[in-house]
């Protein structure tokens, strides 16, 4: 086994077991089998350890000293709080937390509802929509663009950049991997140029937005440098829309799979928050989280060496029968529901409250305005080309107003 720093990030390479379109669209039976047969295993093809049990995944995510977020990547990424360890992570996290306080997030609710209604107004009369393009993509992009203070009319660009940032190789070959890396480097160059311009504008004319707030902020008397400002801006743009897009789409997908559940929600909108939590567990937007062992360590009886990659399969942990009662069943009011879809510990998703709020508002508004939401018969689903993101590129539905 390799102990040198990885050249290829395992979270960008598909595992061999997910070798068909059907398995990529529904990988959960594969995760169940791997969790039960090889709960911790080394994948030679991806030069990585895979961890499938809840207990082990939870342990890894809550121990940043042993399982580091720093990684050696082929792509020239901006370092962000995602790929940082304490103490710098702690300082930057505390700073950006000020922008996502419960009050700031909850105050966005009327505006999110207004955007949702505007988007639905454009499709209401037709009795059909593509969930992804008409709703799940534009809503979070508009919200995060407004928070950052960048023009919402650039949202098509944002979506293209975000798609590339989460993209992975579709097959495990050097050629496929290098092709994705080249796309990412191009996107990063464009993003850096875009945000450098915005940051310069805010230096001259501050506004009430996140970028202006970050420019004014200090840690121990020091301002953030341009590298940190760019890292934050790019992370918030990508993380601020990609996860929520897939949460909304996966929620609508679940509604169409169970008309009885849809009717139950129609009859009691108070079930919507619990429904969103169960969607997060059952169809998590993020399937896997990568770390690098900072020291030799044992997990599940296996010896992992310092420098080796460790991929924690959240999508498997969320269906671990040792943690969840009847995990293969979607239970709308499941309590407790300690899913790991937003991660755990110091890297718990910064935007989780905002994603939850957007998901709840969208679902409530859909159920108030539409009845009998059904997947359009005969449509083909295409999975998002990313080993760690779970979602589809389109999700056409019909409905009765």
Alpha-carbon gap, residue 194 to 30, rounded angstroms: 41
In eight-state DSSP terms, residue 373 is E
Q: In which region does residue 221 sit, left (phi positive, over 0), alpha (psi from -120 to 50) or beta (all else)? A: left
Q: Please report the pLDDT score of residue 7 as a whole number.
A: 58
- Using the predicted structure, report yes or no on whether residue 76 has a pLDDT greater than 50: no
pLDDT value, residue 152: 73
Pick the more confident residue, 391 or 241.
Answer: 391
Per residue in 190-220, pLDDT (tens digit) is 999 999 999 999 999 999 888 998 888 887 7
What average pLDDT does the segment 96-122 reach? 90
Q: What is the pLDDT of residues 242-299, one digit of tens each?
A: 889 999 999 999 999 999 999 999 999 999 999 999 999 999 999 999 999 999 999 9
Confidence tier at 173 by pLDDT (50, 70, 90) = confident
Of 5-19, 150-164, 279-293, the one with minimum mean pLDDT is 5-19
- Taking CB atoms within 8 Å and a gap of at least 24, the contacts of 338-343 are 339/277, 339/280, 339/281, 339/284, 339/314, 340/54, 340/57, 340/58, 340/61, 340/314, 341/280, 341/281, 341/284, 341/285, 341/286, 341/314, 342/280, 343/61, 343/286, 343/289, 343/314
Q: In whole numbers, what is the pLDDT of the chain averaged over residues?
A: 90
Taking residues 304-331, report their average pLDDT: 97
pLDDT at residue 74, rounded to an integer = 40
Question: Which of 332-366 are b and which e, b meaning 16 or more Cβ less than 10 Å from the residue's Cβ?
Answer: bebeebebbbbbbebbebbbbbbbbbbbbbbbbbb
pLDDT exceeds 50 at position 397: yes
71 phi and psi, to 5 degrees? Answer: -150, 150
Measured between alpha carbons, how far is 155 from 133 in angstroms, rounded to an integer? 12
Per the structure block, which two tokens stand in for 250? Answer: 């996966």
Label residue 383 by pLDDT band (50, 70, 90).
Answer: very high
- Looking at per-residue pLDDT, the higher value among 276 and 87 belongs to 276
pLDDT over 70 percentage in the chain:
95
Return the pLDDT at 136.
96
The Cβ-side half-sphere exposure at 150, using a 13 Å CA radius, reads 23
For residues 38 and 47, what is the distance between their CA atoms, to the nearest angstrom? 16
Are 209 and 53 contacting, i.e. CB atoms less than 8 angstroms apart?
no
Residue whose pair of structure tokens reads 């409250």 in the numeric block: 353
Domain boundaries 10-39+48-400, corresponding CATH code: 1.10.630.10
Structure tokens at 221: 């008397």
Three-state secondary-structure class, residue 191: helix
Give the residue carrying structure tokens 């269906």: 319
**Cβ atoms of 60 and 67 closer than 8 Å:** yes
Say whether pLDDT at 3 is over 60.
no
**6 confidence band (pLDDT: 50, 70, 90):** very low
Closest CA to 34 of 349, 356, 311: 311
């Amino acid at each position: 086994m390799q102990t040198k720093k990885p050249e290829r990030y395992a979270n960008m390479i598909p595992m061999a077991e997910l070798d068909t379109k059907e398995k990529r669209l529904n990988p959960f039976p594969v995760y169940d089998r791997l969790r039960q047969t090889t709960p911790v295993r080394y994948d030679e093809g991806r030069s990585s350890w895979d961890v499938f049990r809840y207990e082990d995944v939870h342990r890894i995510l809550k121990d940043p000293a042993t399982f580091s977020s720093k990684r050696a990547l082929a792509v020239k990424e901006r370092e962000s709080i995602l790929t940082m360890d304490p103490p710098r992570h702690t300082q930057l996290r505390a700073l950006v937390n000020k922008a996502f306080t419960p009050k700031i997030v909850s105050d966005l609710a009327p505006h999110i509802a207004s955007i949702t209604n505007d988007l639905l107004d454009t499709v209401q009369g037709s009795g059909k929509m593509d969930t992804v393009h008409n709703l799940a993509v534009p809503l979070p992009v508009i919200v995060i663009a407004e928070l950052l203070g960048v023009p919402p009319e650039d949202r098509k660009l944002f979506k293209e950049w975000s798609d590339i940032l989460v993209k992975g190789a579709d097959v495990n070959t050097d050629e496929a991997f290098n092709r994705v890396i080249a796309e990412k480097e191009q996107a990063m160059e464009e993003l850096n140029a875009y945000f450098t311009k915005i940051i310069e504008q805010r230096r001259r004319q501050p506004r009430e937005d996140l970028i202006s707030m970050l420019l004014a902020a200090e840690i121990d008397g020091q301002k953030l440098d341009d590298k940190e400002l760019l890292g934050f801006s790019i992370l918030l743009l990508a993380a601020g829309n990609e996860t929520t897009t897939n949460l909304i789409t996966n929620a609508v997908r679940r509604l169409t799979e169970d008309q009885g559940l849809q009717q139950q929600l129609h009859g009691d909108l108070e079930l919507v928050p619990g429904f969103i939590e169960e969607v997060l567990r059952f169809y998590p937007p993020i399937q896997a989280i990568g770390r690098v062992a900072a020291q030799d360590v044992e997990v599940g009886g296996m010896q992992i060496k310092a420098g080796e990659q460790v991929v924690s399969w959240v999508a498997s942990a969320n269906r671990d029968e040792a943690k969840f009662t009847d995990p293969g069943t979607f239970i709308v009011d499941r309590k407790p529901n300690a899913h790991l879809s937003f991660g755990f510990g110091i890297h718990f998703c910064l935007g989780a409250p905002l994603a939850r709020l957007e998901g709840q508002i969208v679902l409530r508004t859909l159920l108030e305005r539409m009845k009998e939401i059904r997947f359009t018969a005969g449509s083909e689903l295409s999975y998002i080309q990313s080993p760690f993101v779970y979602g589809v590129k389109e999700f056409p539905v019909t409905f009765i107003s």
